């Protein structure tokens, strides 16, 4: 957005942008609306929208299903939403230990691990393992960027689930994965 909007219109657009993507940073909003960081912070305050950390914390505190397939600390990234056998969201911020020292670009296995562990975590079963993965890195991810992985269960049948995971930086897809997850359930109950 190049043209500056009047305050009321900007605040409406800001509310809409955050409701569509609660993980947007103030910097991303500043660029989107072509205003200063102080203006974004004032707009958020006037609208009663908390800062990013608080929004993430609120989402994490909302009731969500508990991971059954592995201990929560084995899921790469912070799980902030989980609807077993349906969908899940995790956030992973790239730090020095996740990137190549010379280029500051993420080591691919960290991006894959976030998506893979979320795909396994979304299954409502005590045992679930990755059978196969068809992945595509869309663009390199850099130090300090926040990866938001969103997993969607596309189908689930006896012993097997198909899950798609998309990883975003802001609104841009940076990784796509299609996973087949084997699980131990003998049969799935239709609800």
* DSSP string over 110-154: HHHHHHHHHHHHTS-SS-EEEEEEEEEE-S--BTT-EEEEEEEEE
Which pLDDT belongs to residue 189?
A: 44
Q: Please choose, from the candidates 44, 68, 39, the residue with its C-alpha nearest in 3D space to the C-alpha of residue 55.
A: 44
State percent of the chain over pLDDT 70: 87
Q: What is the pLDDT of residues 131-170, one digit of tens each?
A: 999 999 999 999 999 999 999 999 998 889 999 999 999 8
Tokens 């990755």 sit on residue: 130
Answer whether residue 53 shows pLDDT above 80: no
φ and ψ at residue 154, rounded to 5 degrees: -90, -35
- Give the model's confidence band at 2: pLDDT under 50 very low, under 70 low, under 90 confident, else very high: low
Q: For each of the domains in the chain, give its residue range(s) and CATH number, in order of start.
A: 7-59 (1.10.10.10), 63-183 (3.10.129.10)
* Rounded-to-integer distance, Cα 5 and Cα 34, Å: 9
Q: Please choose, from the candidates 90, 75, 89, 87, the residue with its C-alpha nearest in 3D space to the C-alpha of residue 153.
A: 87
Q: What would the two tokens of residue 28 be? A: 């991303």
Which pLDDT belongs to residue 28?
A: 87
- Give the model's confidence band at 23: pLDDT under 50 very low, under 70 low, under 90 confident, else very high: confident
Q: What is the pLDDT of residues 100-129, one digit of tens each?
A: 999 999 999 999 999 999 999 999 888 889
Which residues lie across from 181 on neighbouring strands? Answer: 130, 161
* Rounded-to-integer distance, Cα 84 and Cα 89, Å: 11
Q: What would the two tokens of residue 164 be? A: 């798609």
Which pLDDT belongs to residue 64?
A: 57
């Amino acid at each position: 957005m190049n043209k500056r909007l009047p305050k009321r219109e900007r605040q409406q657009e800001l509310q809409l942008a955050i409701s569509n993507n609660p993980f947007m940073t103030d910097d991303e909003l500043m660029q989107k609306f072509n205003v200063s960081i102080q203006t974004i912070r004032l707009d958020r305050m006037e609208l009663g929208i908390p800062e990013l950390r608080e929004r993430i914390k609120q989402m994490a505190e909302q009731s969500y299903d508990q991971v059954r397939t592995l201990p929560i600390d084995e899921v790469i990234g912070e799980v902030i939403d989980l609807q077993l056998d349906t969908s899940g969201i995790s956030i992973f911020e790239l730090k020095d230990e996740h990137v190549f020292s010379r280029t500051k670009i993420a080591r691919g296995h960290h991006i894959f691990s976030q998506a893979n562990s979320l795909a396994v975590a979304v299954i409502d079963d005590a045992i679930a393992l990755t059978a196969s993965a068809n992945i595509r890195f869309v663009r390199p991810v850099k130090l300090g960027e926040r990866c938001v992985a969103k997993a969607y269960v596309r189908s689930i049948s006896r012993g097997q689930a198909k899950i798609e995971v998309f990883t975003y930086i802001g609104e841009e897809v940076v990784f796509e994965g299609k996973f087949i997850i084997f699980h131990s359930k003998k049969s799935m109950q239709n609800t």
